[in-house]
A = this chain, B = another copy of it.
Amino acid sequence: MSSNIYQKYQNTFEQSQIFAGLDKSFIIDCLKHSEIKLFRRGQYLLHQGDKPRYTAFILSGNLITLRSDAHGNEIIIRLLEAGETCIEAILFPHSISSPISVKASRSSEILCIPAPYIEHICLKNNLFSRNLINVLAFYYRRAMQQIDSITMQDAERRLGQYLLQCYLESGHHEHFELSFRKTDIARYLGMSPETFSRTLKNLQKQYINVENHDISLNDQHALCCFCTPESAVNCHLIEKCPSHTITAAVVSKRNPQF
């Protein structure tokens, strides 16, 4: 039973940060203590203000984490793919109210790992708690980048960086597609859907070709001008890249004080 599920999603487990390095028996034990739920598009896993009961691991589909204010305005914090987790940060310390909502952006199979079990394996398994620390640290750093880019970069740079990231995550395919609705990507990048649309049109003139949700780069290096130290890490064309040498120079210019 759990074994079947393990095999079906083995790749997803192995490539995830949260289960990295953990063996089959650990994951199967985790599956036995958890529940798999199906969420349809637009359905909520958690509402702002609720107390979370489990951590969500995406087996398939996409989730969105968001915050909304009293006027109903929404801002999207994260766009999640299979193998990612959310609602980890809200379990610690337990019994706090959630500052975010989580909803499915398309039909998604979610592994719901109960909060008490998470606490249990945190204490029992050092590798798991180490993984959890890595995950939290990773998303915390990503949040810093978001703050940075929202305050210091204009809409075009933000969108360009996002597209570059999609390109790199697609495995350097010059043709890829957006996994989320444009409205959601817009809110994730801190801009209105209208601005998103206009900005994409501008980029189209210079770097890319857009057809609905399909993006094609004019050439391999089309988006290189949007490279950052963070995205450079995931790029395996660095050596040949004209703009990377510049980026690298800027970063290494600074010297440690001690």
Contacts and interface: CB of A to CB of B under 8 A. Distances in A.
B151 A75 contact: yes
A151 B230 contact: no
A146 B257 CA distance: 29
Given A143-B144, A147-B146, A137 B75 contact: no
Nearest to A246: B70
Given A130-B122, A152-B73, A152-B75, A99 B144 contact: yes
A183 B244 CA distance: 33
A147 B147 contact: yes
Nearest to A249: B70
Nearest to A46: B256
A48 interface: yes
Given A126-B123, A254-B50, A144 B190 contact: no
Interface in A90-106: 90-93, 97, 99-100
A159 to B, nearest CB: 15
Interface residues of A, number: 56
Q: How many copies does the complex hold?
A: 2
A151 B129 CA distance: 33
A48 B99 contact: no
Contacts of A139: 140
Q: 8 closest Cβ contacts across the A-B interface?
A: A143-B143, A136-B136, A89-B137, A92-B137, A140-B140, A47-B254, A49-B251, A151-B190
Interface of A: 43-50, 67, 69-70, 73, 75, 77, 88-93, 97, 99-100, 122-123, 126, 129-130, 132-134, 136-137, 139-141, 143-148, 150-153, 190, 229-230, 250-252, 254-257
30 contacts: A46-B256, A47-B255, A47-B256, A48-B251, A48-B254, A67-B148, A73-B152, A75-B147, A77-B148, A89-B140, A89-B141, A90-B137, A91-B137, A92-B134, A93-B134, A97-B229, A97-B251, A99-B141, A99-B145, A122-B133, A133-B136, A136-B140, A139-B140, A140-B140, A140-B143, A143-B143, A147-B147, A147-B190, A150-B150, A150-B190
Given A77-B148, A133-B136, 18 more contacts: A47-B255, A47-B256, A49-B254, A50-B254, A69-B153, A90-B137, A92-B130, A92-B137, A93-B137, A97-B251, A99-B141, A100-B144, A122-B130, A129-B129, A133-B133, A139-B140, A140-B140, A143-B146
